[in-house]
Amino acid sequence: MPELHDLSALDQWRLLQKGEVGVLELTEHYLARIERLDPELGAFFEVTADRARERARFVERQVPRTTTLWGLPFADKDLVRRQGVRTTFGSRLFEGFLPEISDDAATDLDAAGGVSLGKTATPEFGLASYTESLVGPPTRNPYDVALGPGGSSGGAAVAVASGMLPFAPGSDGGGSIRIPAAATGLVGLKPSRGRVPSGSGIGSLAGLPVTGPLARSVTDAALLLDGLISPTGAPPRQPYSLRAPENTEGPFLGAAVRGEGRFQLGVMTDSPWDLAYEIVIDPEVQETFDQTVDLLATLGHGIEPVSLEPAPEYPPAFRSIWQAGAALLPADASNENLLEPLTRWLMHRGRALGAAELGSALATLSGFERSIIRQFSTFDAIVTPTLALPPRPIGWYDPDDGEKNFAQQVLYSPFTSFVNVSGLPAITLPVGETRSHLPIGVQLIGRPGGEATLLSIGRQLERRLRWELLHPPVWSLESEVR
C-alpha cells in the first residue's frame, strides 16, 4: 500500500478534499520525513514544525476548501520573508534575521490554503547556480550525496525529489528552478515574465527573476502554478501583460491533465555563450537529448533544427547585470567579512560599474530579448538540453576565484540564462538518466505566455516515460527503489 508521499500532490489534494486524509495528518507525515531525511541532505535551513501544526489546524477549521492548494504542505525558499520565521537569504549577514512582515510570495501561498513547513536552502542571496552556503551545510543530491543539486532553488528541489515535500515554489533568475530540477529528476517550470503576480520579474533588474514550481510530475507543477497565479481561484490581482499570451486565465492544470496537441518544435544545442566559452555537452546528455527528440517526432510533433544567430554582445552584458545585482547588498567595510568570497567579488564588481556601462548592458539585453523572440517565432517551442553536464560534485565550484566560478556556472548551465533575458516560459523535464542513475533533463522553451503548450508537451512525454515513478535511493527507507 503506498504511503502518502508516494502519491502525487494532486492525489493528496483529492484525499484532503474528500476528508480521507486530514491536513494535520498530512503535515505530520511530511514533518516526520524531514526529521529522518534532512540531516543527511540539508534541504532545509529552517523547519517550523510547531508553526506548521498550528497552521494545519487553522486550515482545517477556517480556510475554505475551494482554495487552490487547500491543505498541501510546501516550504518557502529562504529568499522569501515570512513574518516571525528566521530568514537568512543564504547569508551569514542575516543569520538571525526575523522579518516583521511577509513577502507576497508567502502570503499568496497562504491564501491558496497551503501549509508552510519551513525554509528551503539557497546559496547566498540566490546568486549562484549551486547550493553550498556558509550559513548552513551544503545541500546534497539525493541521487548521490557526494554531488550537489544545483541552485539556487537547490533546497526546494532536494526536498521534493526526496519526498520531504509534495512540491515546492522556487525562483529563477538565470536557471535557478530549472537547474536543480534537472539535477534531481524533477519537473521545473520558469513562467513567462509577468505571469506570477508575486514573482513577476517586472520591476527587477533586467526583468530576470520569476517565481515558479518544482514538482515530480507535470500535473503537480501545473497545480502549484495555478496556486501561485490565482490562490483563491479568483482572477489574479495583477494583470498579465505579455505580448500575445496564449492563455491569460488558466487554470493550467487542465492543459497538463489533457496533454493534447501536435506542435512545431525547433531543436537547438547551441547557446549564446558559445563564442565566449568552450561549451561541451556530455555524451550521455547528448544521447538522452537525441532520444527525446526522436520520441517527440514519434508523438507526431514537427521537428526542425534551429541555430541561434551569433550574439557576441550577450556574455559581457549578462555578466554585468549579474554583478550589478549584488551592488545593492546591505554590506560595507564594517560587515562585508560576513559575505562569502564570491558574493564580495560580485558586489565590488557591481559597484564599480558606471552608469553608462550598466545602461549599455540593459539596452543590449533588451535588444537580445527582441531578437530571441523573433528567431523563435515560427515554432511552438524550442527543445534544448537543460544542462550541458550531469550533476557536479560538492566543492566543484571555486568559491574564491570569481572569474573561474562564473565560467564553471556557464559550462554547467549554458542553456538557461538567456531564457530569463527573453522573458519566455521554459520547462525542464526529467527524460533520462546517466549509466550511474543520475537524472538528465531536457528543456522546452515556449512562446510568450506559452506555458500551456509546454505543459501539454511535457505531459505527453511523461505518459511514455513515467518518470514520476522513479525516485532516488533515499525515497524508501527500507530498500532502494531503483
Rounded distance between C-alpha atoms, residue 336 and residue 14, angstroms: 49
Say whether 176 is catalytic: yes
In a domain, 72, yes or no: yes
CATH code of 152's domain: 3.90.1300.10
Of 444, 450, 452, 408, residue with least CA distance to 268 = 444
Give the pLDDT of residue 1. Answer: 73
**pLDDT (average), residues 374-379:** 98
Instruction: Report the 10 Å Cβ neighbour count for 11.
Output: 15
- Look at residue 480 and tell me whether its pLDDT is greater than 60: no
Mean pLDDT, the chain, rounded, equals: 95
Q: b/e per residue, 59-85, with b = 16+ CB within 10 A?
A: bbeebeeebbbbbbbbbbbbbbbbeeb
Parallel/antiparallel/unpaired status of strands 73-77 and 44-47? unpaired
Q: Which of 91, 116, 129, 152 is catalytic?
A: 152
pLDDT classification of 250: cutoffs 50, 70, 90: low
Rounded distance between C-alpha atoms, residue 88 and residue 97, angstroms: 6
- Look at residue 69 and tell me whether its pLDDT is greater than 90: yes
Give the pLDDT of residue 476. Answer: 84
Helix pair angle (314-324, 355-375), 10° resolution: 130
Rounded distance between C-alpha atoms, residue 232 and residue 390, angstroms: 39
- Look at residue 60 and tell me whether its pLDDT is greater than 50: yes
For the chain, what percent of residues have pLDDT higher than 70? 95
* Half-sphere exposure (Cβ direction) of 219: Cα atoms closer than 13 Å: 17
**pLDDT (average), residues 37-59:** 98
In a domain, 3, yes or no: no
Rounded distance between C-alpha atoms, residue 104 and residue 122, angstroms: 19
Which residue range(s) make up the domain with 186? 9-475
Is 317 or 237 the better-scoring residue by pLDDT? Answer: 317
Task: Give residue-wise pLDDT tens across range 326-375.
Answer: 999 999 999 999 999 999 999 999 999 999 999 999 999 999 999 999 99
pLDDT classification of 234: cutoffs 50, 70, 90: low
Indicate the helix (H) or strand (E) that contains 401: none
* Half-sphere exposure (Cβ direction) of 335: Cα atoms closer than 13 Å: 8
State the total domains in the chain. Answer: 1
pLDDT classification of 246: cutoffs 50, 70, 90: very low
In a domain, 4, yes or no: no
Q: Which cell goes with 332?
A: 560595507
CA dihedral 58, 60, 62, 68 (to 10 degrees): 110
Q: Which of 77, 192, 200, 230 is catalytic?
A: 77
Give the pLDDT of residue 232. Answer: 84
Backbone angles phi, psi at 362, to 5 degrees: -65, -40
pTM: 0.96
DSSP sequence for 155-206: HHHHHHHTTSSSEEEEEESSSTTHHHHHHTT-EEEEPPTTSSGGG--TTSGG
Task: Specify whether the CB–CB gap between 400 and 343 falls below 8 A.
Answer: no
Q: Which of 102, 133, 162, 176 is catalytic?
A: 176
- Look at residue 33 and tell me whether its pLDDT is greater than 70: yes
- Look at residue 245 and tell me whether its pLDDT is greater than 50: no
Q: b/e per residue, 135-150, with b = 16+ CB within 10 A?
A: bbebbbbbbbbebbbb
- Look at residue 472 and tell me whether its pLDDT is greater than 90: yes
Give the pLDDT of residue 248. Answer: 44
Say whether 190 is catalytic: no
Give the pLDDT of residue 242. Answer: 43
Helix pair angle (341-352, 314-324), 10° resolution: 110
Q: Which cell goes with 378?
A: 515560427
pLDDT classification of 237: cutoffs 50, 70, 90: low
**pLDDT (average), residues 314-332:** 97
Task: Give residue-wise pLDDT tens across range 410-434.
Answer: 999 999 999 999 999 999 999 999 9
Say whether 18 is catalytic: no
Residue with cell 516515460: 465
For the chain, what percent of residues have pLDDT higher than 90? 94
In a domain, 321, yes or no: yes
In a domain, 2, yes or no: no
Give the pLDDT of residue 481. Answer: 36
Q: Burial, 327: exposed, middle or buried (Cβ in 10 Å; 0-12, 13-18, 19+)?
A: middle
**pLDDT (average), residues 254-261:** 96
Indicate the helix (H) or strand (E) that contains 262: none
Task: Give residue-wise pLDDT tens across range 167-220.
Answer: 999 999 999 999 999 999 999 999 999 999 999 999 999 999 999 999 999 999
Whether the CA torsion 320, 321, 323, 324 is positive or negative: it is positive
Of 194, 36, 61, 172, residue with least CA distance to 115 = 61
Bridge partner list, 454: none
Angstrom distances, CA of residue 186 to CA of 177, 249, 260, 396: 10, 25, 21, 22
In a domain, 480, yes or no: no
Rounded distance between C-alpha atoms, residue 118 and residue 109, angstroms: 13
